[in-house]
Structure 1
Amino acid sequence: MFVIAVGMLAGCTTESPKASAAPVIVQPGAPGDRGQTLAASSMPTVADTLFTAADVLFMQGMIPHHAQALRMTDLVPSRSKNRDITLIAQRMQASQEDEVALMRRWLQDRDQKVPDANHDHSGAGGELMPGMLNEEQFAELKKATGKDFDRLFVQYMIIHHTGALQMVEKLFADGGGQETEIFTYASHVDADQRIEIDRMQKLLAQLGAPASG
């Protein structure tokens, strides 16, 4: 039995190894778009993808965008008694505070300017990012209470979230989002904001207001 076992082992070691299949590389597309299959020779290019100016502008713009959303959620405890409003505001606050920290770190790691989230509520050139409230609209929200606040908060937050989706769309349209970390984060923003918009549309209907587009 021992000789037979050795013979079998020897037989296994003398077989020529089968050629391994060529690696398949799929470069992800923008959210909602199909990925692109690339040749194996493209692997170094994909692996070494660097961030772009569009990536930097996206992160620098999304920080003040999130900062305003946090200003809006800060109003909820003193103005609303609606449990659903309170829960969605708490969820937004927790997730967007973490995301602001992520964006600040991303910019710092690449030696890029980090906007002041506490004071700078606009993007490059002083223009408001898509979906952001102007100060008159924010003052209107701040003045409202009870059910009036609930409706206005949800209406304005849907608009705010829709603006974030526009920012993600522009990022990919401008050739950004190819760096792995940027792609992952932008895809997360797109998916998360869409889910929250859907929840808020349903909540707005419950509050007796027409859903925002």
Structure 2
Amino acid sequence: MTAFERPIRIGAVLVLGVALSGCTAGSAAPEATNPTVQLGAPGEPNRTMSPEEAAGIEEPAHTEADVEFMQMMIVHHDQAITMTEWVEERTTDRDIRLLAERMRISQEGEMDLMAGWLQERGTPLRDEHGGHGGAHDMPGMLTDEQLERLEAADGEEFERLFLEYMIQHHQGALEMVADLWASDGGQEQAIGQFARHVEGDQAIEIARMQSMLAERAS
């Protein structure tokens, strides 16, 4: 079953709010006094804004680059989920199975969130004009030959291929996030937070899988 045949649930989107101070009995609600923090670009520090600056802020709108990123990442995640679904029947290794289950749950949840983000903005779940080429043209995507090799493998060979191919897949996702930043996408708060989450989560998993590969080679 593909990503677009699965039932889609609207995902919750985290937003950064400005806290309001409490009200004393019998008094009117005071104005917000907590500082407003502007999130820095990747590699840059955050900045505290003046009240005048905060009052003039308009939430950045999403861009075409944001839409393309979400559409492509849904397809990208769908292939990773397919890979995790092969694990249970092909290895009894506890670490591999736990890793795959965590990935499956995490990426299914992220697919729901991405689908919700697109639906809330009235955009399709996939590029209807085929502007991105085939799915295998996306960074990190496995070729048909790689998928066939992984599906046919078993035991230790499957474990090694699963780790190698999933590292490749995750590195592709990081490249897609980098491309988003380079195109000045990710300025809308919801997608910016999501892209940073993907960046951090998949970098951690890459390091874990590289360690698991090294343990098996020793």
Same-fold status (TM-score > 0.5): yes
AA matched with 1:35: N
Q: What is the number of residues matched between the two proteins?
A: 186
CA–CA distance in 1 between the matches of 2:37 and 2:115?
29
AA matched with 1:76: V
In the other structure, the counterpart of 2:87 is: 76
8 Å contact kept, 1:79–1:149: yes
Q: Could you tell me which of 49, 63, 75 is aligned with 2:74?
A: 63
In the other structure, the counterpart of 1:132 is: 141
In the other structure, the counterpart of 1:206 is: 215
In the other structure, the counterpart of 1:11 is: none
Q: Secondary structure at the match of 1:78?
A: coil
| Residue 98 of structure 2 corresponds to residue 90 of structure 1 | no
| Residue 166 of structure 2 corresponds to residue 157 of structure 1 | yes
State how 1:4-83 maps to structure 2 within 5 Å. 24-36=35-47, 38=49, 40-43=51-54, 46-83=57-94
Residues 42, 88 of structure 1: CA spacing in aligned structure 2 closer, same or farther, 3 A cutoff? same
Residues 148, 111 of structure 1: CA spacing in aligned structure 2 closer, same or farther, 3 A cutoff? same
Give, in angstroms, the shift of residue 126 of structure 1. Answer: 2.2
Can you give the 5+ residue segments of structure 2 that lack an aligned partner in the other structure? 1-30
Q: Secondary structure at the match of 1:77?
A: coil
| Residue 191 of structure 2 corresponds to residue 189 of structure 1 | no
Residues 39, 82 of structure 1: CA spacing in aligned structure 2 closer, same or farther, 3 A cutoff? same
AA matched with 1:197: I
Give, in angstroms, the shift of residue 31 of structure 1. Answer: 3.7
Q: Secondary structure at the match of 2:125?
A: coil
Q: Could you tell me which of 126, 141, 154 is aligned with 1:145?
A: 154
How much is the aligned-residue C-alpha RMSD, in angstroms? 2.5
8 Å contact kept, 1:23–1:40: no
In the other structure, the counterpart of 1:13 is: none
**What is the percentage of aligned positions where both structures have the same residue?**
48
Residues 30, 136 of structure 1: CA spacing in aligned structure 2 closer, same or farther, 3 A cutoff? farther
TM-score normalised by structure 1 residue count: 0.79
CA–CA distance in 2 between the matches of 1:46 and 1:174?
22
